[in-house]
Chain A
């Protein structure tokens, strides 16, 4: 079935450094990728939508200069948290539009737990 490989699964970084999270679709072409953030005991909140070859669309309140999204190919989308701070500690998860139909069009990565110290 359709798989989205997300790496790393866990990362601890120092305050002020940048962290890159990758989501790779393994057996399908993901023209659109959605990036979500989930704080403890809360729901998934959409951060941005990225389409292959074009600039990402960010949700209101999400700093595009802080959360850089690149979707340069049909199989890879990346989220870079720049100059991370403790308040950026969260669970980040991607979701690819999968037109093959499995999951009724949405395939999730396994998530990345980011801790900024």
Chain B
């Protein structure tokens, strides 16, 4: 079993739709979590950190449930520019980032 698993995707949604991505992690020692987005043939870029209390940044909302070892990302009012691969990342304190395989999103006009 992979340490970080994500919805396999791809997700194809119309502009304006709301889309949710799910991620689970197996290492209960993981301390911090992030969502990165990666455009085709580009490097991953930080989208947002994920906190137990949940956090929101404009159209994006991230949630962490430590009891269920589950992380989510919600995108509201999808834009064409949201098309990318979304990577869920866990970090064991003092250790490396562990990436999920990514979920690809295509927002269609």
Task: Decide if A and B are genuine partners.
Answer: no
Residues of B within 8 A of A (CB): none
